[in-house]
Structure 1
């Protein structure tokens, strides 16, 4: 009896097996420890700031919700998560035996000339039992390494879906602002064209009266045609912007929402976007879902090395069955009718012509590829944040000076009109001033749009947009899935790296 515990412990150790997966060490940060431009300041981190708190426009909020529910690219990504989770369950199931129940009847008829008894014989056999077929004992962790790889792939797809959501939120907001800016530019062009048309009519009358020359009329015509062409350009762009919004939404925009959008009077009516601090580059490792997805892919490649190593060692599989058998149905469950079989099998790789070594080399190279991909993703994220921070520092000044230019051009245009009416200057000065004012006004709108889009880019680059409402202190997990294809949502606050239960048809 004293040897029972050691033997039991040995058997338990054999059944639990060992792991040949290399120890994982996160690669060093391949970027500087701080951004070139300071990105501090008060305010919650972007990843903790919900997009409904970042984008205050109710129409934009509804448009984003519509897109998250219907956008086909986002829906496809969410379904990929379900597929990856199902594959993980398949691989994990290989760790356990497959038990099958069976019941059968065999009837055999032997003719008289073949029977040893000299007469025809009909025999019956009944059997009822269960069997476990070719259950592989995972002594060296091959199956567990494969399941680990599938698990990491699932988590990578989960973070990829989150990254797609963040990109979709930012893309919808950016396109909405583009639509507002183009409508504002269209209104400026229409007002300028209307004023130019009145000026053209006035110059025509003055030409008839002999107070101006034909050259003045031609110049007025040029100015009007320039403004009219600008109207046509922005009419086209506004229509194309709406087409893009419909595509992103994945469904026609409801009339009530469209009316609400049309009631917004350009970019000037939009609330200023909140300031988000940049933090440190190391923060991106947990706040950027694309970086987390790349690390999960690296962990999957690391697990594949363990599976490739295990292929060099023997594999043990067990086949067992048990039940009852009888030559008559009435005695099938009588005593002494038990039947069983047990068939262990061991397979040892002797000669594979270098296939196992090659597979291990492939796994190691794939890990190196994933390390490079992971580092490149971090560098790209650092670049995105750094560029947006540079933009935030310079757009403020550029917009201010462009506004000053618009004000100066407006004063110059007013003075040019006064001097023309007083007979001091020709109408050419008025036309030049009007062209300069139109150009400055359109440039100002374009700069205001670029400034807002830069703020949206920074919010996205810092991992913002993963959830609708702000949840300080929590780590991002996918919180929104397309409504048309139901997918269970992970619980808010779930620890990153843990498997998430997703269910769906």
Structure 2
């Protein structure tokens, strides 16, 4: 019987051919090259052809404080922790399904006791019989001739691998979210400093206008105009102070723990920004390596395997139950010579009529496969659109930033001239007020433009499937 058990095990390992259709990656539903036009920066003919996925996030993030905050998030973020636990769960689920491809071997020891009625015994008093048994058994093992269990195992494997890709995508998104949150905090800190500096200057101007009014040198109009401007700056300072606090709270949530003050942005946004440029001219098939796209392809492969499961239901299934051991009516004689016993029970199950259930299940599996194909293609199209949008923004940001710098410089010169003329009494405060508000607005716009440029680099890193290690 031992040879029979070995033969069954070998058959279990070697048997089984999959009825699932061979996986064929759908054609790329987008063009090979990124869009071109006035909004896009032309790629240099000497552009580096490395993919963003080849850049680890530490190579991309040049600011050490920001890098340490990102590491805090990778260690403590709860969403990322859930993704890691989902991988462990999917791995265990795959282990359960994979185990069905091998025969299960159970050891059993038992006793059966039965009392015989008195009238059935010679003395009329009745008696008790006992039967002892011990052995090894294989319960209902399916010989996978048509690959049903194999296809189930393949589907669970692809689902497990898909959860790993989901975690990679989550990590890349987390790196980008933390970087953008940290940069936004730096920008709002600079906006707050600008509002406080403006408030300080407006208070000085207001005191000057007030003294002139009290001395009768000017009307109350200049004083009230300067007071209004000072209060507007005070209002902006309060708004940005609250925004900075909200930015810090958002950063703490992403990091999953308290962020030390030493790791927060210091100085201006321009000084805090240190992000590597990404290579140009990479073809759009780089999207096939984006984790979310790979996850969609894993889902498609799992759907293909499920078609194999549904097809196998149309064919006979063979299961084996076997037992080998010893049996005796006395415990002391359980393993003596002549007590050996065995049983072998093959079973053939041939589907004849199921009311169309098997065909319906096959149609469901095929529909799920077609849905997965459409979702895979949609994932690529969405990724292409995200990259194209980021590239369009990238192509116009340099011009936008240069314009904001020039505008801010011109506004500052205009304000200085009007302010000097007002302090000399050569003109009313109205002209100085208008130019001051223009300067303040352009300075805020310059901060926004610098933030947009830094955030665009982070977005490109994310949508190109930036390296996650």
Matched, 1:313 2:315: yes
Unaligned 5+ residue runs, structure 1? Answer: 1-7, 468-505
Cα distance in structure 2, aligned partners of 1:105 and 1:358: 47
Encode CA deviations 1:106-141: one digit per residue, 9 max, x unaligned.
233324322146453333321110111110111111
Aligned pair 1:463/2:457, yes or no?
Answer: no
- Distance of 1:380 and 1:145 partners within structure 2: 30
Could you say which residue in structure 1 is the equivalent of 2:39? none
Query: Aligned with 2:135: secondary structure?
Result: strand
Asked whether the 8 Å contact 1:100–1:132 carries over to 2, the reply is yes
Match of 1:32 in 2: 31
Are the counterparts in 2 of residues 92 and 147 from structure 1 also a CA contact under 8 Å?
A: yes
Does the aligned pair in 1 maintain the 2:273–2:454 contact within 8 Å?
no
Deviation string 1:353-404 (CA, Å, 9 cap, x unpaired) is 1111111111011011111110111011111111111111110110111001
Question: What's 2:452 paired with?
Answer: 450
Aligned partners of 1:240 and 1:12: how far apart in 2? 64
SS class of match (2:264): helix
Q: Deviations over 1:298-338 (max 9, x none)?
A: 00001000100000111111111110111222222221111
Contact 1:15 / 1:137 at 8 angstroms: preserved in 2?
Answer: no
Matched, 1:280 2:279: no
Alignment of 1:19-98 (within 5 A): 19-37=18-36, 38-39=42-43, 41-42=47-48, 44-98=50-104
1:427-469 deviation per Cα after TM superposition (whole angstroms, max 9, x unaligned): 11111111111111011101111111111000111111401xx
Matches of 2:49 and 2:32, distance apart in 1: 21
Whether contact under 8 Å (2:110, 2:132) holds in the other structure is yes
State the Cα deviation string for residues 256-313 of structure 1 (Å, max 9, x = none).
Answer: x313425x11212124421112411112202x10000000000000100010000011
8 Å CA contact 1:112, 1:118 repeated in 2: yes
Deviation at 1:73, TM superposition (A): 0.9
Moved more, 297-306 or 386-395: 386-395
- 2-structure distance, mates of 1:30, 1:277: 23
Matched, 1:216 2:258: no
Distance 1:243 1:325, change over 3 A: same
Instruction: Give the TM-score of the pair, scaled to structure 1.
Output: 0.87
- Structure 1 partner of 2:389: 387
CA distance in 2, matches of 1:13, 1:240: 61
1:158 aligns with one of 154, 157, 164: 164
Pairing partner for 2:258 from 252, 258, 264: 252
How far does residue 240 in structure 1 lie from its aligned partner after superposition?
Answer: 0.5
TM-score of the two chains, using structure 2 as the length reference: 0.93
RMSD (Å), alpha carbons: 1.8
1:175 pairs with 2:181? yes
1:106 to 103, 112, 116: 112
Q: How far does residue 32 in structure 1 lie from its aligned partner after superposition?
A: 0.8
Structure-2 residue corresponding to 1:134: 140
SS of the equivalent of 2:338 reads: coil
Distance 1:15 1:352 in 2: 30
Displacement of 1:65 after TM fit?
0.9
What SS does the aligned partner of 1:343 have?
A: strand
2:324 corresponds in structure 1 to 322
Distance 1:337 1:448 in 2: 88
1:405 and 2:411 aligned:
no
- Quote the residue 1:304 is aligned against: 306
Question: Contact 1:14 / 1:139 at 8 angstroms: preserved in 2?
Answer: no
